[in-house]
Amino acid sequence: MSDYPVIGKRLPFLEAIPKGAGETRFTNDLSLPGMLHARTLRSPFPHARILKIDTSRARALPGVEAVITAEDTIGRKYGYWPPGVKWDQWSTVVEDRYPLARDRVRFAGEELAAVAATDEDTAEEALGLIDVEYEHLPAVFDPEEALMAGAPAIHNGQDNTCAHVIMRAGDADAGLAQADYVREDRFTFASINHASIEPHSALAYYDPTGNLTVWTATQMIGCSRAVLSHLLGVPEDRIRYIVPAVGGAFGGKSGVFAYEFSAALLSMKIGKPVKITYSREEVFTSTIRRYNLVIRLKTGFKRDGSITAVRCRVVAEAGAYVGLGTPPLVNGAIFLTAPYRVPSLDYEGRKVYTNLPVCGPMRGPGLPQTRYAVETQLDSAARELGLDPSEIRRRNALQPGERTVLKWDITSCGLEECLQQAQSAIPNDHAGSGLACSSFMSGYDYPARHSNPGSVSIGADGTVTIQTIACDFGQGAETGMRQIVAEEMGVPVEQVRVRSGDSSLFPNQWWSFSDSASTGRAMIEASSQARRQLLEVVAEELEAKVDDLECRGGRIYVKGSSERGITFADAARKSFDRRTRAAWGEARFCARDELRRTGQRGPFLACSFAAQAAKVDVDRETGLVDVKRMVNAYDCGRAINPNMVEGTLQGGSAMGLSHALLEEVVWKDGQIMNPSFLDYRLATSLDTPSVETILVETVDPAGPYGAKEVGQGSLQAAAPAVGNAVFASIGVPITDLPITPEKVLKAIEAAAGSVPRP
């Protein structure tokens, strides 16, 4: 139990109140006077040369006010990051995409033109009046086939490899040679849609003063602003991004999308507000999806289960454009050496173009697939070596203070306790129970403009206002920040307000992810600055030293003499009267600077750790898997708000279960076959058991009040825990996700030596 007045307390999820009351306004709820509605024309073909686009009939339709194609743009390409950004030592910035296709289309659903009209029906009708002539080109849809000799070149003059990462440490050849048992497996994964309830939408207005405002649910507010500036040729200081409420994201609303660009360019052409909202089918076909990976994993073990070396080869599908770049490859490599001790690593990953929609980040890009491969292989190795699945994990578990083979420091680690708690809840000593572990970074080594800024001001009435570009995507970021600032100021949480999701608050910053280490640390420093200014006024009033004063319970008083003090509100009023301005503080926290200051090695400040367990029943006649119980034991550092942490863990486990058993985007010749919630299978409340959460609080020195992340890592071990429970039930590992009834039946029949069903 926390000794702090606010930190660690189970306070209500404040952002949920307006949502529950139906008062929250999302982008598509917004409207401006004179607003037009826009629709987008898309290619029906996965690969074709554009010979001609004739928009004359569409322009002549009554109610149509503007039509744009690539000819109306300034002809610039873009990538995921702003021009010139060097993300990490492995990254290369690739600008390979036009916001509206110019020379050819590379996937079915790619944007060709956009129409703004008085209403959506007219805009939709106008799309049917645009004539496009194509020359069909050969296409490739499988990333491994795209690497073969003779495969269609998706980008002229380029190999279909668009990103390449190699990481080697130690001597993997020697480590494998010294092993008593070597196991090699191939794992494959289906495409998955983010399936956010809120569809993608943008409202743009280019006003008469030459300023452009874009309202959209982006996860990368400053970064998106910089990319849009590049594409439009409009200075960054003339563009303002505002993020309304976000109805789900999971990484699927990061980066610039064609709808943002089209709404902005249309508004610039006609001087009126323009809104575009995608249909559910457009979200599936024309935004982003989780990476389809092929993983070949080879691991050496000693007889006691100790890992001697890991060799991994990854082919990651990019889709038609490079998108995020190297992170899905880099993440996989990093977390092949955590949460377990790996003496030697040989990793090589390639990201490959195909003629399918672009892949992008989804709750730890590249990592859920890697974890599934590692955890499934560990259970296979344990079975062959005669070891308990929990024992092989415990034997290889990292410890606090260790340095990984990649020379990265582990500052805190509660993995062993997580393992013990998960195994106690669901023992893995009988069929149908499975176990898996994971870890994830907290406080990543971002470039400087990706540091997390924050400011805190104290109004004359004692109200404390936070300003940040860190948006809330449903994870409770605003409640968490309010608790941190309330703790620092010594006031009730209800006295703290948040202004966020507006690029004008911190116009020089790119990032908006609510990383607990970075945003929280910035808020602590900004609060400290503002508090000291207030205390200086109170110290003069009470004839005391600043260091002798304490803020708690909405009062400021002399330590040891609580009666000798004034209310926080009175102090704020006196401060405002004397200083004629609010007490105010601003700070930016950059993990890269912190790592340099402390001498800590690694691309992150800390790691969270987790162990998840699952209990399933498998119907051997139908192949159906019924998940009965799930447990998520998580090393979260200190839980700023246990209610929110537990909710995040439950959501991550439920999503991981859905990925393990159900979710799959189905393709045929480059066309999506299930682009709706009627056909795309998602876990519902009927498929998901209650998830038991166990918080393991290790209190890491790098995090705010010792906190570590929970948003990304809460998902990673869920799918392999379910997969290993199925493995324990049927005696055969499933190496291709999702685990459908058909795959279960074929695995059972193959193990029994019978002829597989057709």
Cα separation, 208 vs 203, whole angstroms: 16
Across residues 581-590, what is the average pLDDT?
87
Task: Yes or no: say if 513 and 218 are a contact pair by the CB < 8 Å rule.
Answer: no
Task: Yes or no: say if 675 and 280 are a contact pair by the CB < 8 Å rule.
Answer: yes
Q: What is the mean pLDDT of the chain?
A: 93
Cα separation, 375 vs 175, whole angstroms: 20
| pLDDT for res 89 | 57
Domain boundaries, the chain: 16-23+452-589, 31-137+198-249+253-286, 293-446+598-752
Helix %, strand %, coil % for the chain, to 5? 30, 25, 40
Query: What superfamily does domain 31-137+198-249+253-286 belong to in CATH?
Result: Aldehyde oxidase/xanthine dehydrogenase, a/b hammerhead (3.90.1170.50)
| pLDDT for res 579 | 72
Under the banding of pLDDT at 50, 70 and 90, the label for residue 755 is very low
199 residue type, one letter: P
Residue range 293-446+598-752, CATH number: 3.30.365.10
Task: Identify which of 295, 360, 265, 281 has the alpha carbon closest to the alpha carbon of residue 321.
Answer: 360
Cα separation, 285 vs 281, whole angstroms: 6
**CATH number of this structure's domain 16-23+452-589, picked from the four choices 3.40.50.2000, 3.30.365.10, 1.10.10.10, 3.30.500.10:** 3.30.365.10
Task: Yes or no: say if 232 and 264 are a contact pair by the CB < 8 Å rule.
Answer: yes
Look-up of token digits 């324990």:
728
| pLDDT for res 477 | 84
Reading the block at residue 547, the tokens are 């260091």
Across residues 192-216, what is the average pLDDT?
97
Cα separation, 444 vs 3, whole angstroms: 28
Q: In 10 A of CB 408, how many CB atoms?
A: 18
Cα separation, 179 vs 299, whole angstroms: 9
| pLDDT for res 445 | 73
Task: Identify which of 702, 602, 595 has the alpha carbon closest to the alpha carbon of residue 89.
Answer: 602
| pLDDT for res 740 | 98
Q: In 10 A of CB 757, how many CB atoms?
A: 9
Across residues 678-707, what is the average pLDDT?
94
Across residues 247-271, what is the average pLDDT?
95
Under the banding of pLDDT at 50, 70 and 90, the label for residue 498 is very high
Residue 498 main-chain phi, psi, to 5 deg: -125, 130
Read off the pTM. 0.95
Alpha carbon distances (Å) from 557 to 337, 428, 487, 551, 594: 50, 55, 16, 7, 33
Q: In CATH terms, are 16-23+452-589 and 293-446+598-752 the same topology?
A: yes
- Strand intervals (E) in 224-339: 239-242, 274-277, 293-301, 307-319
Task: Yes or no: say if 43 and 261 are a contact pair by the CB < 8 Å rule.
Answer: no
Under the banding of pLDDT at 50, 70 and 90, the label for residue 92 is low
Task: Give one DSSP letter per residue of 615-663, joined into a string.
Answer: EEEE-TTT--EEEEEEEEEEE-BS-SSHHHHHHHHHHHHHHHHHHHHT-
Task: Identify which of 518, 540, 527, 693 has the alpha carbon closest to the alpha carbon of residue 610.
Answer: 693
Across residues 670-695, what is the average pLDDT?
96
Cα separation, 559 vs 287, whole angstroms: 57
Under the banding of pLDDT at 50, 70 and 90, the label for residue 724 is very high
**Model confidence at 757: pLDDT above 60:** no
**Model confidence at 429: pLDDT above 80:** no
Q: What does the pLDDT look like over 390-422, one tens digit per residue?
A: 999 999 999 999 999 999 999 999 999 999 999
**Model confidence at 293: pLDDT above 70:** yes
**Model confidence at 758: pLDDT above 50:** no
Strands lying side by side in the sheet with 161-169: 161-169, 345-353, 307-319, 293-301, 181-189, 736-737
SS3 category, 40: strand
Q: What does the pLDDT look like over 444-455, one tens digit per residue?
A: 776 555 677 889
